[in-house]
Structure 1
Amino acid sequence: MVDPSSSAAADTFGSGSGDGDGIPFVSAWAAAGSRRYQHLLDKATPHVLRRWLGLGLVAAIYILRVALVQGFYVVSYALGIYVLNLLIAFLSPQVDPEIQELVDGSGPSLPTRSSDEFRPFVRRLPEFKFWYSVTKAFCIAFVLTFFDAFDVPVFWPILLFYWLVLFTATMKRQILHMIKYKYVPFTTGKQRYGKKPIPPEDATHLGA
């Protein structure tokens, strides 16, 4: 004879494990954590200076870690290449004028210092995503320094020299691209105009 209570308990446990009823609890916990994390990111968005100071602190901790262990130079080299690619995307316009020029024969109008009309520079990689990606890359690289499998023996001055050459060549190409298409990758904000000054003759008339 089968005990009804044990049968019901078995059905409940079986349905929870077999049908995946336990997974929604984990999913709900993960969704709540994700919403909390996104909320913190949204709150940090307007604090540009604090975010970049925090990134500087994270980068300093990583550099100190590499200097103390005297290793993980391949990880640092990969990190440098990744940050360089992000930097180029940060300095590049969302629509490449060179490609647009090939398509319709005229490149898009990009903001310049001499332009009277205010047109903000639209980046391929926005500032917040640039900061977030670089911060995440440093954090991942820092975690990798605790695994000996990523500590590949290498003569680090060669990697440093190659990265400097690559950085110089890439930035030179980017600067030439800016000069050719006459755009500035930084927007200081819309120009504000104060009150129109009163001409001297009008001021004299008002004083009289």
Structure 2
Amino acid sequence: MSDTEPIASQPSVLYKAYRRISELHQNALDKATPHSGPRWVTCCILLVLYFVRVYWAQGWYIVTYALGIYLLNLFIAFLTPQIDPALLEDPDDGPSLPTKANEEFKPFMRRLPEFKFWYSASKAIVIATICTFFEVFNVPVFWPILVMYFIILFTITMKRQIRHMIKYRYLPFSYGKAKYKGKEDTGKVVSS
């Protein structure tokens, strides 16, 4: 840049810092992407720390209830196919799941991919934990009622999801195409 350019066209220090932090954050996410096991262990540790914080502080039950409903919503989206067969007017529209053993393998495409599920759940847990440090979010409620509501909501929602899975015959977990083994190599040469 030349000395004659106006100062307003140069990025500010705050913008440069924000951009650098964004790059570091994206770099960390890129490195964590292939490691699903450690990512979920970290998420579970964050959730346990959150529950310890709520138990120790004896409050923030509304925040916990909202977090539970949000995580349930994410889980349902994770279990649901990307194209819901119930919403298709003609069953032949869009991709379909194989219904017979001799049909072509089609992997299960989720509405919410595993990485986005983990990322959204982790962000929600961190945000909920931050909320426990502000008294404004500590709304007084009778927490056993919230627990009962959540259990009822979870039961009804999962029952409906399982019925959907049975009706449209899909399993939301696929481990890839089946691999078939040929004959074992005995090491002997057969002459003809």
TM category (shorter chain) comes to 0.7 to 0.9
Gaps of 5+ in 1: 1-11
Contact 1:111–1:121 under 8 Å retained in 2? no
1:135 aligns with 2:122: yes
Contact 1:55–1:135 under 8 Å retained in 2? yes
Change (3 A) 1:25 1:113: farther
**How many angstroms does 1:32 deviate by?**
1.8
Corresponding residue of 2:143 = 156
C-alpha distance in structure 1 between counterparts of 2:132 and 2:108, whole Å: 38
Change (3 A) 1:182 1:146: same
Question: Which letter maps to 1:136?
Answer: K
Equivalent residue for 2:81, pick from 88, 93, 114: 93
Corresponding residue of 2:59 = 71
Corresponding residue of 1:6 = none
SS of the residue corresponding to residue 119 of structure 1 reads coil
**How many angstroms does 1:194 deviate by?**
2.1
Change (3 A) 1:180 1:151: same
Which structure has more relative contact order (CA 8 Å, sep 6+)? It is: 2
Change (3 A) 1:184 1:83: same
Which moves more between the two structures, 24-33 or 127-136? 24-33
Question: Which letter maps to 1:182?
Answer: R
**How many angstroms does 1:113 deviate by?**
8.3
Percent of counterpart pairs with the same letter? 51
| Bigger share in helix | 1
Cα-to-partner distance string for 1:122-168 (whole Å, 9 max, x where unaligned): 00000000001001100000000000000000000000000100000
Number of aligned positions between the proteins: 185
TM-score, structure 2 normalization: 0.87
Corresponding residue of 1:60 = 48
